[in-house]
Amino acid sequence: MTDTTPEARAPLPRTAAVIPAAGSGVRLGPGAPKALRPLGGTPMLVHAAHAMARARAVVLVVVVAPAAETEAVRSLLDEHPPPPGVDQVVVAGGATRQESVRLGLDALPEDIEAVLVHDAARPLVPVDTVDAVAAAVHAGAPAVVPALPVTDTVKRIAAPTADGAPEPVVATPDRSLLRAVQTPQGFDRATLVKAHDRLVDDAEAAVTDDAGLVERLGVPVVLVPGHEEAFKVTRPLDLVLAEAVLARRRLNDGF
Q: How far apart are CA 202 and CA 197, in angstroms?
A: 9
Q: Out of 22, 62, 103, 119, point to the residue binding ligand LQXTBERG (CB under 6 A).
A: 119
Size of the site for ligand LQXTBERG (CB under 6 A): 9
| Beta-carbon contacts of residue 18 (< 8 Å; ≥ 6 apart) | 62, 64, 101, 104, 105, 108, 115, 116, 117, 118
Contact 98, 196 (CB under 8 A): yes
Q: Out of 32, 89, 181, 222, point to the residue binding ligand LQXTBERG (CB under 6 A).
A: 181
Contact 182, 146 (CB under 8 A): yes
**Radius of gyration of the chain measured on its C-alpha atoms:** 18
**Residue 249 interface partner, choices ligand LQXTBERG, ligand CTP, none, CB cut-off 5-8 Å depending on type:** none
Distance of closest approach, residue 3 Cβ to ligand LQXTBERG, in angstroms: 29
Distance of closest approach, residue 8 Cβ to ligand LQXTBERG, in angstroms: 29
Residues 218-247 that bind ligand LQXTBERG (CB under 6 A): 232, 234
Q: Return the number of the residue (120 or 192) whose C-beta is nearest ligand CTP.
A: 120
Best CA proximity match to 146, nearest among 117, 177, 171, 120: 117
* 120 interacts with ligand CTP by CB under 6 A: yes
H or E element, residue 169? strand 169-171
Contact 112, 153 (CB under 8 A): no
| Helix 189-201, helix 97-106: angle, nearest 10 | 130
Distance of closest approach, residue 113 Cβ to ligand LQXTBERG, in angstroms: 22
- Would you give the end-to-end CA distance of the chain in angstroms? 14
Size of the site for ligand CTP (CB under 6 A): 22
Q: Return the number of the residue (50 or 97) whose C-beta is nearest ligand LQXTBERG.
A: 97
The interface region with ligand LQXTBERG, picked from 62-70, 160-168, 176-184, 195-203 by CB under 6 A, is: 176-184
Q: Return the number of the residue (188 or 209) whose C-beta is nearest ligand CTP.
A: 209
Q: How far apart are CA 120 and CA 118, in angstroms?
A: 6
* 183 interacts with ligand LQXTBERG by CB under 6 A: yes
Q: Out of 121, 133, 147, 239, point to the residue binding ligand CTP (CB under 6 A).
A: 121
Best CA proximity match to 39, nearest among 181, 207, 247, 248: 247
Residues 205-234 that bind ligand CTP (CB under 6 A): 232, 234
Residues that bind ligand CTP (CB under 6 A): 20-27, 34-35, 64, 93-97, 100, 119-121, 232, 234
